[in-house]
Chains A and B, each alone.
Chain A
Amino acid sequence: MSKPQILEGSRAIALTIKNIRPAVISAYPITPQTHIVEDLARFKADGEADYEYVRAESEFAAASIILGASATGARVYSSTSSQGLLLMTEVLFNIAGMRLPVVITCANRAVSAPINIWNDQQDVMTVRDAGWIQLFAENHQEAVTLHILAYKLAEKLRLPVMVNVDGFIITHSYEEVTIPSEKEIKKFLPDYQPKPGTYLDPANPRTLGSFATPADYLEIRQELHDDLISALPIIKSEYEKYNKLFVTVTHPVSARGGSTPLKRGIFDNGLLEYYGPAHAKTVIVAMGSVVGTIKEIIDEKKSAGGLFNSGVGVLKIKTFRPFPAEEIVAALKNIGAKNIAVAEKAVSLGYAGPLEIEIKAAIQGKIAANVKNFIIGLGGRDVTREMIRNIIEKAASKSEEVEFVGK
């Protein structure tokens, strides 16, 4: 059984990928994901890994290279952020349309202009519609879990998976983490074995990525959509299987023994995670590392300025695509939320935060609750306890305006 270590987030991801043993890695450096691919290059150079490491001239090239390699039936990997993700956008659509089981890490970073290298989730929101499964990690251990889960889902469902980790916050910080060994991973993730006739093979020639006329295109896209929706229960069941085999502690706060005993309504089903009292009047909906900050405040005693026993909980969206609309509605109903504060690190410029738009649509006509949108953390603006308390106070506001919380 692997031992826990204190590791930089990027290192934890690189070690996980090494143990997953892809056959081809191609990547282009971009802050703040570069440490991941530098580590993977170093493993290869030091003779610790045998994947093909292909240096590409851009992210567009890197994505195209792994698309091609995946089309030959090989397990592949790449990593990018922000501008790099946008540069490979066209290829991401191709990968999904071709039903290739590619896994990419996105170290979420703000997009230009203005130029900004720090964390927010605008980058991944721009490829929401590309047909990829989109998973979000709260901390280092979850980043490890989601990468292994990603390959299992991708290869089982013929759908590409993007694992999102907040840039710098996860990639450049140090946390305790347990990396499953190659042998342990194999128990959960078998070798990639695509069906003959579905990949490029001189012995069984097929063309991949061909043309589809108006007579065929619509149903092909519909099938991709339907398969993404059908993935929802499979993500849950695979996560359950994973949980039985590996360490997945994603509540380091509660793992410490918790500062205060809480009447917990905690659940974690692979699509969503809830932390807080069983019934909460105010629920913050959020994704990624900021959830860790929110959990801290929920556990803190009121005397310390916290929200313990204040009827506040946090609903973490772990799987953003496919969007777990039914699960979200069921969870919010059970929790009895009256004020839903959607706090997110992205904004669909000209309207509102993408997560809020989707939450509002999901609960429409099903839950009578106030939904308020808070845009936080853009361009790496630190999200503080003060800001979270501010958001909770404003959650009951009837104003429809999107609120940017910068201090």
Chain B
Amino acid sequence: MFIDITVSPGSTIKNHTGGWRTFRPKTDLEHCISCATCARVCPESAVKMVDQPDGKKKPQTDYDFCKGCGVCASECPVKVIKMELEKK
């Protein structure tokens, strides 16, 4: 028996690491200044700046991969991101 102990890349496409989250970031988009700091600092690249109807860009979090580390909330210059306890 030969057990293959190497793994195909991209296993996180199947394993959504967002399942590890305890706190979930909640962004107040009305008061967000579109500075994109949260998108830049996210260690998972789970925050993307998305075009809005008024031409501005606002952050959108992919909760499949957001691990709830809170770096976005910590770095937001206008403190519009709150970390809320994940409800399951």
Identify the A interface with B (CB < 8 A).
Answer: 97-99, 197-198, 205-208, 210, 212, 219-220, 223
8 A-B pairs with least C-beta separation:
A206-B6, A207-B7, A205-B9, A210-B7, A223-B3, A208-B6, A220-B3, A207-B9
Q: Which residues of A contact B1 (CB under 8 A)?
A: 223
Q: Which residues of B contact A208 (CB under 8 A)?
A: 5-6
A38 to B42: give the CA distance in the assembly, Å.
46
Q: Are B3 and A198 in contact (CB under 8 A)?
A: no
Q: Are B3 and A219 in contact (CB under 8 A)?
A: yes
Q: Are A207 and B3 in contact (CB under 8 A)?
A: no
Q: Which residues of A contact B3 (CB under 8 A)?
A: 219-220, 223
Beyond the given A207-B6, A207-B7, A223-B3, could you list 13 further A-B residue pairs with CB under 8 A, ordered by the A residue number? A98-B5, A197-B6, A198-B6, A206-B7, A206-B8, A206-B9, A207-B8, A207-B9, A208-B5, A210-B6, A210-B7, A210-B11, A220-B3
Q: Which residues of A contact B2 (CB under 8 A)?
A: 223
Interface of A is mostly: loop
A208 to B6: give the CA distance in the assembly, Å.
5
Least CB distance, B51 to chain A, in whole angstroms = 33
A258 to B11: give the CA distance in the assembly, Å.
65
Q: Which chain B residues numbered 25 to 84 have a C-beta less than 8 Å away from chain A?
A: none
Residue of B nearest to A97 (CB): B5
Residue of A nearest to B15 (CB): A211
Q: Which residues of B contact A212 (CB under 8 A)?
A: 5
Least CB distance, B46 to chain A, in whole angstroms = 21
A138 to B84: give the CA distance in the assembly, Å.
67
Residue of A nearest to B10 (CB): A205
A97 to B3: give the CA distance in the assembly, Å.
12
Least CB distance, B3 to chain A, in whole angstroms = 5
- What are 19 A-to-B residue pairs whose CB atoms are below 8 Å? A99-B5, A198-B6, A205-B8, A205-B9, A206-B6, A206-B7, A206-B8, A206-B9, A207-B6, A207-B7, A207-B8, A207-B9, A207-B11, A208-B5, A210-B5, A210-B7, A212-B5, A220-B3, A223-B1
Q: Are A220 and B5 in contact (CB under 8 A)?
A: yes
Q: Which residues of B contact A220 (CB under 8 A)?
A: 3, 5
Q: Which residues of B contact A223 (CB under 8 A)?
A: 1-3
Least CB distance, A221 to chain B, in whole angstroms = 10
Q: Which residues of A contact B5 (CB under 8 A)?
A: 97-99, 208, 210, 212, 220
Least CB distance, B4 to chain A, in whole angstroms = 8
A198 to B5: give the CA distance in the assembly, Å.
9
Least CB distance, B8 to chain A, in whole angstroms = 7
A98 to B6: give the CA distance in the assembly, Å.
9
Residue of A nearest to B8 (CB): A206
Q: Which residues of A contact B7 (CB under 8 A)?
A: 206-207, 210
Least CB distance, B2 to chain A, in whole angstroms = 8
Least CB distance, B39 to chain A, in whole angstroms = 27
A205 to B9: give the CA distance in the assembly, Å.
6
Residue of B nearest to A216 (CB): B3
Indicate the member of B6, B8, B11 with the most A CB atoms within 10 Å: B6
Q: Which residues of B contact A205 (CB under 8 A)?
A: 8-9
A207 to B5: give the CA distance in the assembly, Å.
9
Residue of B nearest to A211 (CB): B7
A206 to B10: give the CA distance in the assembly, Å.
9
Q: Which residues of B contact A99 (CB under 8 A)?
A: 5
A34 to B5: give the CA distance in the assembly, Å.
35
Least CB distance, A100 to chain B, in whole angstroms = 11
A210 to B9: give the CA distance in the assembly, Å.
11
